[in-house]
């Protein structure tokens, strides 16, 4: 069984997802070959397995993107097309509706977060819902990355959906290294510095509350849609490589995920894999990951000030206990092994259908 993945962007959690999928599927006895259509070359994938097609988000560029992807599909002749995110999913499935994809090719789609579940103009969300509903009829399977994603898909009549939660690789639980740690507590934020991730609300609350912990911010702006406060005792580290990020996770006492919307919430799972408690906004897939009071706490964005005070008020022992509980939940639900096994089983079911 040959698989061709198509993704029009490589940012944040999606690249982590694709890297994990690539590592697993290149070793899977059920898959003869796996190749990727990506917007650029990546260091975790050989050039012989990568077709580079630049990202197309403007309407004028979509026809060229579609033409290039169609040519690659015709040359590769995959058994399964696995489409990632809305542009790739929309373009390729529209081509399939128009009869430009061979009927024998099975199409698996994952939005990695429904566009209509984001805050935005009502007319746009309505249009996205109807587009996804229409295109679902030319999908052999749709992967929803959380129970929340599955629930709203079913609510709006999107068919052929199955929930396969995201997962990350196992790693040794990260206890803070006393030899390298500062005396003050450290709380970690990881993600894009944009409105979706709620970094502006977090920094504003931090400036108001002035909690007795240092805030470490990993990530950078992508959409340039915010003017951010620069409070004291906040350290901005920008994007970090894998080993550097692991070291920051290892040195922190807790993580905070203040997203305004979130299809899944990969940072929460990455923290739990390392035995760190998670304080997260009660939105989207985050409510399926964080068990309130056990592995961390959930809060509404208008309670951000209180969430920071709660982190201040918890003892080190309480935070460690939450982190240990999070690690147990990770092992039960969110390993990459569990995710990847389920994806390959879905391929096999689709091919045999």
pLDDT in tens, the chain (353 residues): 999 999 987 766 788 899 999 999 999 999 999 999 999 888 889 899 999 998 766 777 888 899 999 999 999 999 999 999 888 999 999 999 999 998 889 999 999 988 888 777 888 888 888 999 999 988 999 999 999 999 999 999 999 999 999 999 888 776 655 444 446 899 999 998 988 899 999 999 999 999 999 999 998 886 666 778 788 899 999 988 888 999 999 999 999 999 998 989 999 999 999 999 999 999 999 999 999 999 999 999 999 999 999 999 999 999 999 999 999 999 999 999 999 999 999 999 987 66
pLDDT at 171: 82
Q: What is the DSSP string of 231-261?
A: -TTEEEEES--HHHHHHHHHH-SEEEE--S-
List the beta bridge partners of residue 82. Answer: 5, 108
Residue 114 token pair: 């429904």
pTM, whole model, 2 decimals? 0.86
Residue from 135, 115, 137 nearest 126 by CA: 115
pLDDT at 353: 66
H or E stretch at 82: strand 80-84
Alpha helices in the chain (DSSP H): 13-25, 59-76, 86-97, 122-136, 147-155, 199-209, 242-251, 266-273, 286-289, 304-313, 316-333, 336-352
pLDDT at 225: 67
Distance in angstroms between the alpha carbons of the first and the last residue of the chain:
14
Longest dimension (CA), the chain: 63
Q: Is 297 helix (H, G, I), strand (E, B) or coil?
A: strand
Domains of the chain: 2-169+335-352 (3.40.50.2000), 185-333 (3.40.50.2000)
**Residue whose tokens read 């090719």:** 105
């Amino acid at each position: 069984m040959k698989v061709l993945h198509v993704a029009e962007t490589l940012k944040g959690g999606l690249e982590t997802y694709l890297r994990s999928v690539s590592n697993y599927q290149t070793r899977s006895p059920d898959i003869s070959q796996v190749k990727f259509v990506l917007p650029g070359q990546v260091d975790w994938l050989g050039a012989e397995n990568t077709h580079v097609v630049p990202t197309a988000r403007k309407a004028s560029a979509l026809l060229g993107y579609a033409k290039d992807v169609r040519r690659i599909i015709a040359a590769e002749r995959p058994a399964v097309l696995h489409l990632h995110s809305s542009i790739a999913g929309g373009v390729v499935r529209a081509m399939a509706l128009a009869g430009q994809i061979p009927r024998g090719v099975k199409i698996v789609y994952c939005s990695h977060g429904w566009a209509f579940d984001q805050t935005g103009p009502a007319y746009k969300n309505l249009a996205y819902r109807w587009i996804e509903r229409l295109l679902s009829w030319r999908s052999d399977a749709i992967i929803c990355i959380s129970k929340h994603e599955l629930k709203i898909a079913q609510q709006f009549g999107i068919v052929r959906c199955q929930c396969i939660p995201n997962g990350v690789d196992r790693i040794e639980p990260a206890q803070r290294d006393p030899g390298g740690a500062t005396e003050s507590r450290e709380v970690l934020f990881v993600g894009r510095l944009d409105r979706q991730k709620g970094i502006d609300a977090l920094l504003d609350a931090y400036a108001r509350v002035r909690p007795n912990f240092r805030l470490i911010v990993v990530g950078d702006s992508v959409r340039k849609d915010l003017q951010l406060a620069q409070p004291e005792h906040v350290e901005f580290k920008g994007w970090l490589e894998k080993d550097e990020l692991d070291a920051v996770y290892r040195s922190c006492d807790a993580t905070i995920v203040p997203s305004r919307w979130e299809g899944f919430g990969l940072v929460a799972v990455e923290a739990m894999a390392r035995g760190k408690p998670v304080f997260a906004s009660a939105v989207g897939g985050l409510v399926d990951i964080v068990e309130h009071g056990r592995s961390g706490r959930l809060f509404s964005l208008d309670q951000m000030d209180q969430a920071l005070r709660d982190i201040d008020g918890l003892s080190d022992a309480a935070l460690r206990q939450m982190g240990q509980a999070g690690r147990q939940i990770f092992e039960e639900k969110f390993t990459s092994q569990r995710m990847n096994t389920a994806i390959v089983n879905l391929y096999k079911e689709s091919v045999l259908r």
